[in-house]
A = this chain, B = another copy of it.
Amino acid sequence: MVETLGGAESIAPFFSPRSVAIIGASSKQKKIGYVIAKNFIESFAGKLFLINPSAQQILSHKCYPNISSIPESVDLAVIAVPAKSVKEVLEECGEKGVRTAVVISSGFKESGKDGAKMEEELVSVSRKYHIRMMGPNCMGVFNSTTMVDTLFIPRYRLKRPPQGKIAFISQSGASGIAFLDWAAGERIGISKFASYGNAADVDEADLLEFLATDEETKVIAMYLEGIKEGRKFAKIAREVTKEKPVIVLKTGVTDSGAKAALSHTGSLSGTDEIFNAVVKQTGMIRVYDWEEMFDIARALAYQPAARDNRVAVITNGGGAGVMIADELEKHGMALARFSEETTSKLKEKFPPHVTLSNPMDLGGDADNERFREAIGAVIDDDSVDSLILTCIPHTPAIDLESFVDMVVDTKGKNNKPMIVCLPGGRVSLEVRELFEENGIPTYPTPARAALALSALVRYGRLKNGS
């Protein structure tokens, strides 16, 4: 036995195998084994072996009758055969020396007593051969870099998201699909994704531990209905949050939700108080909604943590400044009090109707240059830990394209996070995308902008030990 059963290194081959065998590959378009084979043929750069005893070729690729007949070593087996055959197939994998397997097949614990017994047998086999097994009854893995893609929803029905810095793990397959669709639609980059189903072996804690070591992942987001082993999870989560932020969306919060969770995955979701205690103790960031999760994840993926909670707000529309001030206070942040130096420097340059207190309202006639001066002064002000920029981009004075360039030029200065709040619709949406492409997280409402910034403040405090 060269490989250990636990630890991050045992999880790595799920995401970055040099060679993959798809057991149950099929030439029938409606079959799971067809969709998965097609995914790998289209984009996986490593070695690929298709296995189906009754086919010579699938999608113009040579087929092997079984895993033993493959002449080379296999890092990852993807198993998509009927439930009753999985045990035998997994044993063959073990004999062949495969140490990593995703079992897509369903018909195990989730389907009742007989299935639960079959699942126990799989666990025995994987223990015997030191195989790390994901599933059964799962969507499996997506890695935007290596293009490991075991998702059995065809790409024309579910677009895959682009490369990025956010990893996502979810026990629930449907929630995993919703996440990926959202990320693809909003063009939010993903590093790695796993939906691990019944968690007979690999669970949320294992994946968390691995993702902490993954250089492509800057933020980890998770969807949980329940936790398999609370103590193990809490221990690992506490370590991981020292390395990178962990965002957790936990459902089954209320009595109604807990009952619904029980009938969905059989998860005992536990009381919300207990979970909140775990969140606090481990330094995770809890969210209640997909939108919150993405909003926070984008901020943490692309901006530094904030040193402290003093925020500068710069705007050309007073109303937005007022709304942001409200939201900052709700989230425990404070309006920075600008230094004498900052205000006197800007007073010289700006017309008298500009409000130099915080929120700094540059006026409806503010042009790019006035914004540039204001951002430059404020970002150098020691009393400021972070910036929210909010701009009504429709005023004739603003030149949109160079406005984005101007803001991007200041990115990362003094290591202070900056986020943008652009209210509304069509014009704003285009500008938002330009900002996002340049690593400036951008939100359509003051509430969402403030929530995202609050995560940078909270994570900053965790890192500082305060």
Q: Which interface residue of A225, A259, A263, A328 has the most chain B CB atoms within 10 A?
A: A263
Q: Are B355 and A318 in contact (CB under 8 A)?
A: no
Complex Cα distance A259/B170, Å? 43
Complex Cα distance A257/B326, Å? 5
Q: Are B428 and A256 in contact (CB under 8 A)?
A: no
A331-365 CB contact bits vs B (8 Å, 1 = yes)? 00011000000000000000001010101010010
Complex Cα distance A446/B396, Å? 38
Q: Tell me if A19 counts as interface (CB < 8 A to partner B).
A: no
Q: Are B290 and A257 in contact (CB under 8 A)?
A: no
Q: Tell me if A121 counts as interface (CB < 8 A to partner B).
A: no
Interface residues of A in 395-452 (CB under 8 A from B): 395-396, 423-429, 444-448
Residue of B nearest to A173 (CB): B364
Q: Tell me if A260 counts as interface (CB < 8 A to partner B).
A: yes
Stretch from A177-185, A198-206, A231-239, A298-306 forming part of the interface with B = A177-185
Q: Are B353 and A111 in contact (CB under 8 A)?
A: yes
Among B261, B265, B444, B447, which residue has its beta carbon within 8 angstroms of that of A288?
A: B447
Interface residues of A in 316-338 (CB under 8 A from B): 316-323, 325-326, 328-330, 334-335
Q: Are A392 and B174 in contact (CB under 8 A)?
A: yes
Residues of B within 8 A of A372 (CB): none
Q: Are B257 and A423 in contact (CB under 8 A)?
A: no
Residue of B nearest to A159 (CB): B426
Given known A322-B251, A323-B257, contact A426–B263 (CB-CB < 8 A): no
Q: Tell me if A113 counts as interface (CB < 8 A to partner B).
A: no
Q: Tell me if A120 counts as interface (CB < 8 A to partner B).
A: no
Residues of B within 8 A of A392 (CB): 174, 177-178
Q: Which interface residue of A178, A330, A444 has the most chain B CB atoms within 10 A?
A: A178
Q: Are A323 and B251 in contact (CB under 8 A)?
A: yes
Residues of B within 8 A of A361 (CB): 263-264
Instruction: Tell me how far the C-beta of A351 lies from the nearest C-beta in chain B, rounded to whole angstroms.
Output: 12
Q: Tell me if A128 counts as interface (CB < 8 A to partner B).
A: no
Residue of B nearest to A171 (CB): B319
Q: Are A424 and B182 in contact (CB under 8 A)?
A: yes
Q: Tell me if A252 counts as interface (CB < 8 A to partner B).
A: yes
Residue of B nearest to A359 (CB): B260
Q: Tell me if A253 counts as interface (CB < 8 A to partner B).
A: yes
Residues of B within 8 A of A185 (CB): 424-429
Q: Are A174 and B447 in contact (CB under 8 A)?
A: no
Complex Cα distance A322/B252, Å? 6
Residue of B nearest to A430 (CB): B185
Given known A175-B319, A320-B178, contact A263–B355 (CB-CB < 8 A): yes
Residues of B within 8 A of A111 (CB): 353
Q: Tell me if A41 counts as interface (CB < 8 A to partner B).
A: no
Complex Cα distance A392/B291, Å? 16
Complex Cα distance A355/B262, Å? 11
Q: Tell me if A285 counts as interface (CB < 8 A to partner B).
A: no
Given contacts A174-B317, A184-B425, 18 further A-B contacts (CB under 8 A): A172-B319, A175-B319, A175-B320, A175-B423, A178-B319, A180-B425, A181-B394, A182-B424, A182-B425, A185-B428, A223-B319, A251-B326, A260-B318, A260-B335, A264-B321, A289-B446, A290-B423, A291-B445
- A binding-site residues for B, Cβ under 8 Å: 30, 111, 153-154, 157-159, 170, 172-175, 177-186, 223, 225, 251-257, 259-261, 263-265, 288-291, 316-323, 325-326, 328-330, 334-335, 353, 355, 357, 359, 361, 364, 392, 394-396, 423-429, 444-448
| A-B pairs with beta carbons under 8 Å apart, 22 shown | A30-B396, A111-B353, A159-B425, A170-B319, A172-B318, A174-B318, A177-B317, A179-B424, A181-B394, A181-B424, A181-B426, A181-B428, A225-B322, A254-B330, A255-B329, A256-B328, A257-B325, A260-B318, A264-B319, A289-B323, A289-B446, A291-B448
